[in-house]
Amino acid sequence: MEQMITLEFHPEVKAALEAGHAVVALESNVITHGLDYPDNVTTALKVEAAVRESGAIPATIGIDNGVVLVGMNREQIERFASTPNIPKVSSRDLPFILASGKMGAMTVASSLVIAELASIPFFSSAGIGGVHRGAETSMDISSDLIQFTRSKVAVVCAGAKNILDIGLTLEYLETQCVPVVSYQSNDFPAFYCQTSGYKSPMRMDHADEIARAIEINWSIPGAAGMLITTPTREEDAIDSKDIQLVVKQAVEQAETEGVTGNAVTKFIMKAIEKATAGRSAEANKAVLINTARVAGELAVAHSHYLRDKGQHVGG
Ligand code: PSU
Ligand code: MN
């Protein structure tokens, strides 16, 4: 079958993959929808720097002019950060945005589709989508969770924001056979809160053990992604008690204002930002950067594991 999706590799990403060096794929929706300009540029660059600091190469993914950029240069990041109204592209939106030639910002789900096509085994995002509060009636479940069951990519994150129903998110991941492991922690984290109040189904303390687990998972017929969580650093964390009420009010406000579908997350984030006088935005940036650093470390350990076995990242 002809491959209809054109990938345009940043030369550095291409070289790293060919050499078997660690690469970490990154989403672009956080640039266009998660933070404001120019904070989004500086943060995206810091996230990339954090991946490099750990010895891996970052590959920020986005769509421009009918092709998928696998790794962006500074100008491209600047362009994504400053162009208004770039659509949020989840997996199902890929065909339309690519066919139309428009720009598109990738969610976790669509980034995973591309990472797998590009043979990048690692992806990092601070917060994944999940099961929304009230999903028992709205059925609002992020397709990020479904994509974990389809793409053979290890996902490193700081859990999910507690604007979601984290208990149901964990239940859903269990039902869908998605392996979840917390790196050097007992708890499933909640983005800028160190714990969600839920214990993680598994804890592992060594990066090489996680590398082995990833490879074993990929040899299981039908298995795809693995979720690896790392908590935000204590000094950057917000106490979950401090924002419980704010989150509850923001979720209710979205409901009364009739915000639905893929606009819900951004609306609630903005409301929380306003209510915490920017404190959540600061914590948001810190967790993005820290998660990327840990993802870089784990990706390097994984590439070393493959090298020692005589295999190669990137096939
Ligand atoms: N979680 C956050 N912040 C975000 C997102 C998730 O804490 O910005 C973004 C990510 O790009 C994620 C997407 O992949 O929202 C999920 O959106 P939805 O729930 O519409 O699938
Ligand atoms: Mn949704």
The predicted pLDDT at position 265 comes to 86
Its sign, for the CA torsion 87, 90, 91, 93, is negative
Q: Is residue 249 part of a domain?
A: no
Q: Is residue 153 part of a domain?
A: yes
Half-sphere exposure of 297 (CA within 13 A, CB side): 18
pTM to 2 decimal places: 0.96
Below-70 pLDDT ranges, the chain: 313-315
Phi, psi at 303, each rounded to 5°: -65, -35
Please tell me if the CB atom of residue 124 comes closer than 6 angstroms to any atom of ligand 1: no
Provide the CATH number for the domain around residue 21.
3.40.1790.10
Q: Is residue 261 part of a domain?
A: no
Check if the beta carbon of residue 145 is closer than 8 Å to that of residue 130. yes
- Structurally, how many domains does the chain consist of? 1
Q: Is residue 267 part of a domain?
A: no
Q: CA angle, corner 156, sides to 162 and 208, nearest 5?
A: 140
The alpha carbon of 211 and the centre of ligand 1 are apart by a number of angstroms equal to 26
Going by C-beta distance under 8 Å and a sequence separation of 6 or more, which residues neighbour residue 44?
26, 30, 31, 60, 77, 81
Q: CA angle, corner 261, sides to 112 and 137, nearest 5?
A: 110
Ligand having the closest approach to the CA of 34? 1
- Euclidean distance between CA atoms 259 and 285, whole angstroms: 25
Instruction: Please count the other Cβ atoms lying within 10 Å of the Cβ belonging to residue 92.
Output: 12
Give the residue from 131, 286, 302, 134 showing the smallest Cα distance to 215: 302
Q: Is residue 253 part of a domain?
A: no
Domain range holding 98? 7-238+276-308
Q: Is residue 85 part of a domain?
A: yes
Q: pLDDT (tens digit, 9 = 90+) per residue, 179-198?
A: 999 999 999 999 999 999 99
The predicted pLDDT at position 241 comes to 87
Q: Is residue 76 part of a domain?
A: yes
Going by C-beta distance under 8 Å and a sequence separation of 6 or more, which residues neighbour residue 187?
194, 195, 196, 197, 198, 199, 200, 231
Please tell me if the CB atom of residue 144 comes closer than 6 angstroms to any atom of ligand 1: yes
The predicted pLDDT at position 314 comes to 63
Please tell me if the CB atom of residue 262 comes closer than 6 angstroms to any atom of ligand 1: yes
Q: Is residue 110 part of a domain?
A: yes
